Amino acid sequence: MKAQTLSGAKGFQPFALKTDFTESASLVEYDKSHTGDPHLIKTVSKQAGKDSIAAKLEGRSRVVIEAVHPEIDGGEYAIQRVVGETVAVEADIFADGHDVVVARLLYRGPGERNWRAISMTPTTNDRWRGEFIVSQIGEYRYTLEGWIDPFTTWRNAMKKRLDAGQEVHVELMAGGILASAAAKRAKGGDAKRLQEFSEKLSAVRTAEMDASDASAAALDTSLEALMQKYQEHAYCTRYAKELAVSVGRERAGFSAWYEIFPRSCSQTPGAHGTFKDVEGWLPYIASMNFDVLYFPPIHPIGHSFRKGKNNAEKAEPDDVGSPWAIGSEEGGHKAIHPQLGTLEDFKSLIAKAKEHGLEIALDLAYQCSPDHPWVREHPSFFRTRPDGTIQYAENPPKKYQDIYPLDFETDDWRVLWMELKSVIDYWIEQGVLIFRVDNPHTKSFPFWKWTIAETKATHPEVIFLAEAFTRPKVMYRLAKLGFTQSYTYFTWRNTKEDMTTYLEELTESDVVEFFRPNFWPNTPDILHEELQKGGRPAFLSRFVLAATLAANYGIYGPAFELCENRPAKPGSEEYLDSEKYQLRHWDIEETQNLQTTIARINEIRRTHPALQSNRSLRFHPTDQTFLICYSKTDAEKKDAILVVVNMHHEQAQTGWVEIDLKALGLFPDQPFEVHDLLTDKRYTWTGARNYIQLEAGRSHIFHLPSATGATI
């Protein structure tokens, strides 16, 4: 039966639905010549009929493979990694009886047809483990297989019989048969050597014959090596699923984002900034060691129902409106706001940013002002109310009359999908490979699954950051659908207990396999009460937490480094004089600018691989409520970082931390040096329990030069 597809716009096939599982099967053909890579397995495709899965069912396959990890939702979704990371796979693999089981992890990289095989190692209670390194971006696949190993089963039993002084001539003859069969699979000198072993084992045909030489041959390690090299994979069990790994480039897993409004970059107060003005900011931003420069929408802004300063419902003639009210007579999502400059100006900015080690990220906001060209050209993209007007965005009691949301239940959904995908394609053509996606949880899940997969099929280097502050299951679903990074609840985790619980969820559960957090202490939408009331100490502590707890983090600047903490009104998380609705002029020469501290911490992040991943995060107990202590390690590069933060923004804190010496590769009876990378001070500690004293909002970022970088 042919695969069914959904038809629609020309060239549009978002789904392929298999209706018959016996349509085709991937069977394994082992390279018995051993002239090429011995870890490669050739795959051949067989058609339905006699070669179908059902027809190929082998009742003598005794090995069971279950409880595979990682496997997200039964294998429906890919796990996420970046280039150079390891994929560690575990599974319960066993068989009936007492025969020895062999297990292998199979994997193949993007575009590869043949499998590579890695021997798995048994751990405890029939649990096996294997791992491979992903070396290129794109999609990897992996699965498992297992079979009974007759030779090792025979050899183990033979050793026990010999140790017990039992008569073994029949067992030696059985070993000879196994060696003879292996000789037929081998070539050259290996085949000759195996045949010699076979003859030696088979020579003892009665109990009266001297079996000492044959017994020695049975336990010869060279025979074992040859038999392993040419072992037969009879009645092999292949795990029923091929599981996926979505592999991104390094920046997908480790990045520091800086958000800025280009229109506020003019050196002249009150003047509208341009892309050329942003070029003047590049040295300042680069001096803080950021690597992603993110812009809110750069498109034309609508005039209808334009918002005024501080979100006033009525705009004054000189009000610039919200960049998220996208579209006017000057164009839509593929156009640039004329006051910012031209497309050539934007491309020049991309090139200049690259010279400073910065990559430009754009906001992908799928919504329209009433003046957007789509409103005229594709009115079916929007939902109409009973009176015939288009439904504007709202979150009762809040109303956003300047924004029309898109209707993903429209009958023209195929056309809508293609148009939205074309926006991504257009900006990729201009050189943009990072997109911060605005409110993706208010758009269709199937759309994201399709458009991200289609984009990454041709541009696997593209990064999508999901700005979805919503229910956990919705946020996790978006990550499963392919979003590279995700905003989190970090902003609202402001106690040690809340922070610890949340980070353990993100790093010690299956969430770590697909959800890659990006911590933001502030955004243009969020000025948390902690920053409003805590002042500079709060900004310091929140920055250290964001930058060291998460491998990916970002700040909205210059508001953050200048400690902007004025709310629109008491109890609000909106900024007073928010840049979302007006131009701002920032004086980066202010004495309270955190530029130097931010630059130093980003430098520490770049220098120490322990801070470039989240998987090794471990919290350590303290005896004070406001002192939080945690570590990160990189075992391969022998790097370990220990962070202690005073989360109180008004008072100094003193207390004791009790570190897990084993997790840090340290010994309980040996003194060790801790080097504070922020102050350059060094301290000698002994044992697990050590004293800490920190001023309000201050932190230690200790490097442990004597650590082995071990992880549990």
Q: Is 438 a catalytic residue?
A: yes
Which residue among the candidates 149, 371, 438, 634 is catalytic per the annotation?
438
**Could you say which DSSP state residue 569 is in?**
S
Q: What is the mean pLDDT of residues 594-598?
A: 97
- In the chain, count H helices and then E strands: 15, 34
- The two beta strands, 618-620 and 627-634, are antiparallel
Q: How confident is the model at residue 400 (pLDDT cuts 50, 70, 90)?
A: confident
Q: What is the CATH number of domain 151-229?
A: 1.20.58.80
Q: Phi and psi (nearest 5°) for 659?
A: -90, 150
| H or E element, residue 29 | strand 24-30
Least Cα distance to 254 among 86, 109, 85 occurs for: 85
Q: How confident is the model at residue 39 (pLDDT cuts 50, 70, 90)?
A: low
Question: Does the pLDDT of residue 21 top 80, yes or no?
Answer: no
Q: Which residues contact 499 (CB under 8 A, 6 or more apart)?
A: 493, 545, 549, 628
Q: What is the pLDDT of residues 283-327, one digit of tens each?
A: 999 999 999 999 999 999 999 999 999 999 999 999 999 999 999
Locate tokens 């933060």: which residue?
A: 645
Q: Give the domain ranges of the chain.
A: 4-148+241-247, 151-229, 250-612, 618-703
Q: What is the pLDDT of residues 133-168, one digit of tens each?
A: 999 999 999 999 999 999 999 999 999 999 999 999
Backbone φ/ψ region at 304: left (φ over 0), alpha (ψ -120 to 50), beta:
beta
Joined tokens for residue 190: 């290996």
Question: Does the pLDDT of residue 33 top 80, yes or no?
Answer: no
Question: Does the pLDDT of residue 11 top 80, yes or no?
Answer: no
Least Cα distance to 269 among 582, 481, 669 occurs for: 582
Q: What is the pLDDT of residues 489-520, one digit of tens each?
A: 999 999 999 999 999 999 999 999 999 999 99
Between the CA of residue 536 and those of 78, 191, 532, 567, 597, what are the distances in Å?
41, 75, 10, 15, 12
Higher pLDDT: 46 or 184? It is 184
Q: What is the mean pLDDT of residues 215-226?
A: 95
Q: Which residues contact 671 (CB under 8 A, 6 or more apart)?
A: 684, 685, 686
Locate tokens 């609705």: which residue?
A: 581
Q: What is the pLDDT of residues 434-474, one digit of tens each?
A: 999 999 999 999 999 999 999 999 999 999 999 999 999 99
Please, what is the angle between helix 221-229 and helix 188-202, to 10°?
A: 120
Q: Which residues contact 164 (CB under 8 A, 6 or more apart)?
A: none
What is the per-residue pLDDT for 358?
Answer: 98
**Around 251, how many Cα atoms within 13 Å sit in the side-chain half-sphere?**
21
Joined tokens for residue 669: 């009876």
Are the folds of 4-148+241-247 and 618-703 the same?
A: yes
What is the per-residue pLDDT for 29?
Answer: 40
CA distance 462 to 132: 23
Q: What is the 3-state secondary structure (H, E, C) of 38-87?
A: CCEEEEEEEECCCCCCCCCCCCCCCEEEEEEECCEHHHCECEEEECCCEE
Please tell me whether residue 402 adopts helix, strand or coil conformation: coil
Q: Is 603 a catalytic residue?
A: no
As beta bridge partners, residue 47 has: 24
What is the per-residue pLDDT for 706?
Answer: 56
Question: Which residue type does 120 have?
Answer: M
Sheet holding 434-438, edge to edge: 485-486, 463-467, 434-438, 359-364, 292-295, 255-259, 552-556, 518-519
Q: How confident is the model at residue 36 (pLDDT cuts 50, 70, 90)?
A: very low
Q: Which residues contact 638 (CB under 8 A, 6 or more apart)?
A: 707, 708, 709
- The two beta strands, 243-248 and 393-395, are unpaired
* Fold assignment, 4-148+241-247: Immunoglobulin-like (2.60.40)
Question: Does the pLDDT of residue 5 top 50, yes or no?
Answer: no
Least Cα distance to 371 among 321, 414, 416 occurs for: 321
Q: Please answer whether residues 505 and 488 qualify as being in contact, where contact means their C-beta atoms are separated by less than 8 angstroms.
A: no
CA distance 614 to 323: 34
**Around 163, how many Cα atoms within 13 Å sit in the side-chain half-sphere?**
7
What is the per-residue pLDDT for 388?
Answer: 87
Mean pLDDT, all residues of the chain: 91
Q: How confident is the model at residue 124 (pLDDT cuts 50, 70, 90)?
A: very high
pTM given for the model: 0.90
Q: What is the mean pLDDT of residues 338-361?
A: 98
Q: What is the mean pLDDT of residues 579-588?
A: 97
Q: C-alpha 487: how far from its chain's center?
A: 13
Q: How confident is the model at residue 705 (pLDDT cuts 50, 70, 90)?
A: confident
User: Mean pLDDT lowest for which of 16-20, 45-49, 361-365, 629-633?
Assistant: 16-20
DSSP characters over 249-279? -HHHHSEEEEE--GGG--SSTTSPP-HHHHH
Question: Does the pLDDT of residue 28 top 60, yes or no?
Answer: no
Between the CA of residue 360 and those of 260, 434, 440, what are the distances in Å?
11, 7, 20
CA distance 702 to 685: 12
Q: What is the pLDDT of residues 100-111, one digit of tens each?
A: 999 999 999 999
Q: What is the CATH number of domain 250-612?
A: 3.20.20.80
What is the per-residue pLDDT for 209?
Answer: 85
Which residue among the candidates 85, 259, 467, 513 is catalytic per the annotation?
467
Q: What is the pLDDT of residues 512-566, one digit of tens each?
A: 999 999 999 999 999 999 999 999 999 999 999 999 999 999 999 999 999 999 9
Locate tokens 């084993």: which residue?
A: 662
Q: With 0-12 CB in 10 A as exposed, 13-18 as middle and 19+ as buried, what is 517?
A: buried
Q: What is the dihedral of CA 346, 348, 354, 355, to 10 degrees?
A: -150
**Could you say which DSSP state residue 614 is in?**
S
Q: How confident is the model at residue 56 (pLDDT cuts 50, 70, 90)?
A: low
| H or E element, residue 395 | strand 393-395
| Distance from the first to the final alpha carbon of the chain | 50
Please enumerate, as own/partner, the contacts of 279-286 that have beta carbons within 8 Å and a separation of 24 or more. Answer: 279/348, 279/349, 279/352, 282/352, 282/353, 282/356, 282/358, 283/356, 284/588, 284/595, 285/258, 285/260, 285/356, 285/358, 285/557, 286/356, 286/357, 286/358
| H or E element, residue 367 | strand 367-368
Question: Does the pLDDT of residue 583 top 90, yes or no?
Answer: yes
Question: Which residue type does 551 have?
Answer: A
Q: What is the CATH number of domain 618-703?
A: 2.60.40.1180
Q: Please answer whether residues 65 and 93 qualify as being in contact, where contact means their C-beta atoms are separated by less than 8 angstroms.
A: yes
Q: What is the pLDDT of residues 632-671, one digit of tens each?
A: 999 999 999 999 999 999 999 999 999 999 889 898 888 9
Question: Does the pLDDT of residue 3 top 60, yes or no?
Answer: no
**Could you say which DSSP state residue 432 is in?**
-
